[in-house]
Structure 1
Amino acid sequence: MITNHLTVPAGILLPHALLESDAFAALAAFVAINTVMYVALAVAKILPKVYVSDWIRRSNERSEPRGIIPENATNAPAEG
Structure 2
Amino acid sequence: MIPTGILLPQEWMQTDWFGVLATFVAVNTLIYVVLGLIKIIPKFGLRRTYTGASRRSETRSIHPDAPL
TM-score interval, normalised by the smaller of the two chains: 0.5 to 0.7
Aligned residue identity for 1:37: I
Q: Does 1:36 align with 2:37?
A: no
Larger helix percent? 2
Partner in structure 2 of residue 16 of structure 1: 10
Task: Encode CA deviations 1:10-69: one digit per residue, 9 max, x unaligned.
Answer: x84311221000000000001101111111111100112253x97xxxxxxxxxx58x9x
- Matched AA of 2:38: A
Q: Tell me the distance in 2 between the aligned counterparts of 1:46 and 1:16.
A: 39
Aligned-residue Cα RMSD (Å) equals 3.2
Distance in 2 (alpha carbons) for counterparts of 1:22 and 1:41: 29
Matched position secondary structure for 1:16: coil
The sequence identity of aligned pairs, in percent, is 47
TM-score norm. by structure 2 comes to: 0.53
Structure 1: 4+ residue segments shifted above 6 A: none
Gaps of 5+ in 1: 1-8, 55-64, 69-80
Task: Summarize the alignment of residues 1-80 of structure 1 with structure 2, pairs less than 5 Å apart.
Answer: 12-50=6-44, 51=46
* Runs of at least 5 residues in structure 2 that lack an aligned partner in the other structure: 58-68
Aligned residues: 51
Structure with higher Rg: it is: 1
